[in-house]
Chain A
C-alpha cells in the first residue's frame, strides 16, 4: 500500500462507540472540514470499517487509507464534496 502522508485536519475519536456511533460522528465531522481536507477516524467497533466504507461510497467521499492499530481501526477520509 502506498504510504499516505496526508495530514488530517480533524480527528474523530469514536473508540468505545458502537454502531451507528462511528458513522454518525463521521457524518457530523465531515461537515466541519473543507472540501479537499482529510478527516481521521479512530474506532473500535468492528462494524466501523465496512460501515464507513459504505458511507463513503454513498456520500461520495474518498477513503484514503484504513489501517488497524491494535484494537482501533484508523480511517482517513478526504472530503470530496
Chain B
C-alpha cells in the first residue's frame, strides 16, 4: 500500500477531442486514486474549454479525421461521458485544479465569464511550474 502523495500535472495544449479524452480520463482516474491533479489549459486546449465550445466540439486529429463520425457514434452507443464531464467528476472525487492560461486568453479574446465554473484560476507559467514540481508532467 503506497501512502506517498502522488501528483500529475497536464499541459492541455490540444483542442482536439481525441486528445481531450485522455485528459479527462487521466484526470478522473488519478483524482479517484488520491492523486493531486493540475490541468493547465493553454492555446487550443483553452479554446476548447470555452463554454460555447464544450458541447459542439467535434474536432479530432487531422490524420484520423475520417474516423470522427464513427468515434462519435461509438461514444454515444457506449454512453461515454464527454471529456469535460470527466473533468467535473474528477473535481468531485479528488483534489483537482483547473487553470486557464492568461496569455492565451488575451490572444484569443477569451474572458473569464466565457469559461465554465470548474475553472479555478487564471494563471501563468510560473504558477504551473510551481504546482507541477515533483510530480508527473504531461503535455497533451
Residues of A within 8 A of B (CB): 16-21, 23-24, 26-28, 51, 54-55, 57-60
Contact = CB atoms under 8 A, between A and B. Distances in A.
Interface residues of B, number: 21
B2 to A, nearest CB: 6
Contacts of A19: 25, 29
B80 A27 contact: no
Interface of B: 1-3, 6, 25, 28-29, 31-35, 78-81, 86, 89, 92-94
13 contacts: A16-B79, A18-B80, A20-B29, A23-B29, A24-B93, A26-B32, A27-B32, A57-B1, A58-B6, A58-B33, A59-B33, A59-B34, A60-B1
B25 A28 contact: no
A18 B78 CA distance: 8
Contacts of B94: 27
Contacts of A28: 92-93
